């Protein structure tokens, strides 16, 4: 129903965004791989979207690249994988990393994602193997480019990073420790989240 939105980034509170499209504010949830690519608040951005309709809510998910949205759609087709787990998988692994993980049947990489145990990882790898055969010939997504960010209070960046990690399924204490271990002066919430996820891997 809603496949793409182009507008101004009004708010960014990982992993949630508010996109102003001609005066209408759309709330979206995005994986960390998309968050890293976003411009500063107030800048224009185009996102590919996927709408999930439930009895109690309409949820809109946004992706910087079409390929990320296609991966999200492949994941939520799997038995037992909802949008939250799909976003967690995509936040912990880049698209190409997840494809390589499936090709190598690497359960160790998947079990590091919150909510994925060994049995779930093994099942996901088996179910995704055939689906990902067609992905081998698709060009890689663009390399990560972090746009310059406006100065912000360190405490705000740390809080946003901890909140984002908790939303991905990490325990509050675990998220706080991970951010505290890698924080440096002047780091944005996106930098903190990315380094914390790498540290947890």
Say if residue 165's pLDDT is above 60. Answer: yes
Say if residue 13's pLDDT is above 90. Answer: no
Does the predicted model carry a pTM greater than 0.75?
A: no
The CA distance from 83 to 53, in Å, is: 11
What CATH number has the domain spanning 4-63?
2.40.50.140
The CA distance from 105 to 149, in Å, is: 38
**Is the model more confident about 62 or about 79?**
62
Label residues 68-105 b or e (16+ Cβ within 10 Å = b).
bbbbbebbbeeeebebbbbbbbbbbbbbeebbebbeee
Q: What is the pLDDT of residues 100-156, one digit of tens each?
A: 888 888 888 888 887 788 888 888 888 888 777 665 544 444 333 333 333 333 457
The dihedral over CA atoms of 100, 135, 196, 182, expressed in degrees to the nearest 10, equals 80
Length of the chain: 201
Average pLDDT, the chain: 81
pLDDT at 6: 95
| CATH architecture of residue range(s) 66-137 | Orthogonal Bundle (1.10)
Which H helix or E strand runs over 146? none
User: Can you give the residue ranges of every domain in the chain?
Assistant: 4-63, 66-137, 156-200
Whether 107 contacts 122, CB under 8 Å: yes
Whether 152 contacts 11, CB under 8 Å: no
156-200 classified as CATH 1.10.260.40: no
The CA distance from 48 to 71, in Å, is: 12
Q: What is the pLDDT of residues 39-74, one digit of tens each?
A: 999 999 999 999 998 888 889 999 998 989 988 998
């Amino acid at each position: 129903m809603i496949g793409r939105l182009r507008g101004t980034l009004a708010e960014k509170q990982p992993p949630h965004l508010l996109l102003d499209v001609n005066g209408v504010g759309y709330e979206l949830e995005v994986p960390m791989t998309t968050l890293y690519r976003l411009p500063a608040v107030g800048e224009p951005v185009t996102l590919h979207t996927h709408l999930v309709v439930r009895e109690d809510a309409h949820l809109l998910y946004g992706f910087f690249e079409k390929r990320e949205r296609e991966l999200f759609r492949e994941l939520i087709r799997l038995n037992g994988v909802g949008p939250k787990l799909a976003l967690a998988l995509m936040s912990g692994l880049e698209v190409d990393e997840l494809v390589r993980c499936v090709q190598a049947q690497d359960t160790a990489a998947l079990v590091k994602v919150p909510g994925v145990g060994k049995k779930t990882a093994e099942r996901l790898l088996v179910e995704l193997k055939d689906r990902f055969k067609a992905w081998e010939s698709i060009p890689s997504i663009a390399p990560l480019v972090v746009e310059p960010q406006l100065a912000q209070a360190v405490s705000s960046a740390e809080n946003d990073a901890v909140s984002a990690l908790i939303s991905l399924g990490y325990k509050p204490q675990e998220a706080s420790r991970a951010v505290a271990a890698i924080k440096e002066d002047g780091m944005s919430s996106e930098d903190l989240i990315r380094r914390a996820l790498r540290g947890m891997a």
